């Protein structure tokens, strides 16, 4: 428990991303865990998207973007400049009464990863009464408008005192395009309960396959369905996959081109679970599935850079992990590197179905991978250890002095209207 003096010495942190921090996506849940011991009155979330439910932080600022696509001649001007439709939307420097939020921030913890989110961060930053340090934690990376992203990042570079990357793919791209040397900082940390799955039984009709969280890729979803059907040809008693996730995404597939609710779709919705319910759900499961990418890539940048936070949940609870994804994706690489389970290629369905069938039927294999997953969590994903290092580090970063004049150089002024 922190004393009043200790609390007052902690920096006020402004969390900046795109979507509001909530429990319907991995970034929100990650920040909720990481800052669970941080005084809530010294944290503020600012966003331009309200999607999702279940806000993480008590203090929230919502600043909608301005759709400028109807300005005369703007669409043609942007098209000639090679900018996408998303760049038709601009932000304004907001007028925020920071006294309502305990005063201006001392540090910005940013999870920005795209042109749009960095544009938002720039405008928020220009509204601050003082220039403060920024730590940018890349939990994703969208390079679809790379030139714009580089320019947006460069405009903020004088204030960015630390850059963190979730995985090796993101770190490599940051070095290549943004010319920075990021630190690899995992975001999959969990409270490591002494209760986790330590014994894996032989296959029976009580076998429990599980998925938690979002299935972002429609192609991955259809690939999972197809591979599961193929596995049932060898294991007729194979149960449906239980899916515990936010109902918003479940409804998307339900209303999509999949014939939902019939026997050919082997998924069962168990709803959005509480923390205790999720713990029980995972400890009673036999494998944890990550349907990451399918026979085609829905989004090249997402496929190459993202690492679903649910892998941390599976590892913390001693579950062997099954990844459906391409060999160049972070989930595939992580599972292979640490022996967390199996990674199967969606473009080799026959081989994938055979490998998954063998994995399901091989108790010792699953047992070994489950133990590897828990050991990986204890070695690299211990939340308490991470928190003990995070808070002192943020205090140190907040003490950096930022030169306000560095934002007034001509190149920033010339580009300002495009931010």
- What domains, with CATH codes, occur in the chain? 4-189+382-418 (3.40.50), 209-380 (3.40.50.2000)
Encode pLDDT of 223-261 as tens digits. 999 999 999 999 999 999 999 977 666 666 666 655 544
pLDDT of residue 274: 85
pLDDT in tens, 169-201: 999 999 999 999 999 998 899 999 999 999 999
Report, in angstroms and rounded to the nearest whole number, the Rg of the chain calculated over CA atoms: 23
Instruction: Write the CB contacts of 231 (distance below 8 Å, at least 6 apart in sequence).
Output: 238, 353, 356, 357, 360
- Smallest CA-to-CA distance from 27 within 10, 49, 9 is with 49
In sign, the C-alpha dihedral spanning 242, 248, 250, 251 is positive
The pLDDT assigned to 253 comes to 66
CB 214 within 8 A of CB 25: yes
CB atoms within 10 A of CB 409: 11
Query: What residue ranges of the chain have pLDDT lower than 70?
Result: 1-6, 51-53, 65-90, 247-264, 407-419
The interaxial angle of helices 363-380 and 349-361, nearest 10 deg, is: 90
What pLDDT sits at residue 408? Answer: 46
- pLDDT for the residue 272: 82
pLDDT at position 331: 95
């Amino acid at each position: 428990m922190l004393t009043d003096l200790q609390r007052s010495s902690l920096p006020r942190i402004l969390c900046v991303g795109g979507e509001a921090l909530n429990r319907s996506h991995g970034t929100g849940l990650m920040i909720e865990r990481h800052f669970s011991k941080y005084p809530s009155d010294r944290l503020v979330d600012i966003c331009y998207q309200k999607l999702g439910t279940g806000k993480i932080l008590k203090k929230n600022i919502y600043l909608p973007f301005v759709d400028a696509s109807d300005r005369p001649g703007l669409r043609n001007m942007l098209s000639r400049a090679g900018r996408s439709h998303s760049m038709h939307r601009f932000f304004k420097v907001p007028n925020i009464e920071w006294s309502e939020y305990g005063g201006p921030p001392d540090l910005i913890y940013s999870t920005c990863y795209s042109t749009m989110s960095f544009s938002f961060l720039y405008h928020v930053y220009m509204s601050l009464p003082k220039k403060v340090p920024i730590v940018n934690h890349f939990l994703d990376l969208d390079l679809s408008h790379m030139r714009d992203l580089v320019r947006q990042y460069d405009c903020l570079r004088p204030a960015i005192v630390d850059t963190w990357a979730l995985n090796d793919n993101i770190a490599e791209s940051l070095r290549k395009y943004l010319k920075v040397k990021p630190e690899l900082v995992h975001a999959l940390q969990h409270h490591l309960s002494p209760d986790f799955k330590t014994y894996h039984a032989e296959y029976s009709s009580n076998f429990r396959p599980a998925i938690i969280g979002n299935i972002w890729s429609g192609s991955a979803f259809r690939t999972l369905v197809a591979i599961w059907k193929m596995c049932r040809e060898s294991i007729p008693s194979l149960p449906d996959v239980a899916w515990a996730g936010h109902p918003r995404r479940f409804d998307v597939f339900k209303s999509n081109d999949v014939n939902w609710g019939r026997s050919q779709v082997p998924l069962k919705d168990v709803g959005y679970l509480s923390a205790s319910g999720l713990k029980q759900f995972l400890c009673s499961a036999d494998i944890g599935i990550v349907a990451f990418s399918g026979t085609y890539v829905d989004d090249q940048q997402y496929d190459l850079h993202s690492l679903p936070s649910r892998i941390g949940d599976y590892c913390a609870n001693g579950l062997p992990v099954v990844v459906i994804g391409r060999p160049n994706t972070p989930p595939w690489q992580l599972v292979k590197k640490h022996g967390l389970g199996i990674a199967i290629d969606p473009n080799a369905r026959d081989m994938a179905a055979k490998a998954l069938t063998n994995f399901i039927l091989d108790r010792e294999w699953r047992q070994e991978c489950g133990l590897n997953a828990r050991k990986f969590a204890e070695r690299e994903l211990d939340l308490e250890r991470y928190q003990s290092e995070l808070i002192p580090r943020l205090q140190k970063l907040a003490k950096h002095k930022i030169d306000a004049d560095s934002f007034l150089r001509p190149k920033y002024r010339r580009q300002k209207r495009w931010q």
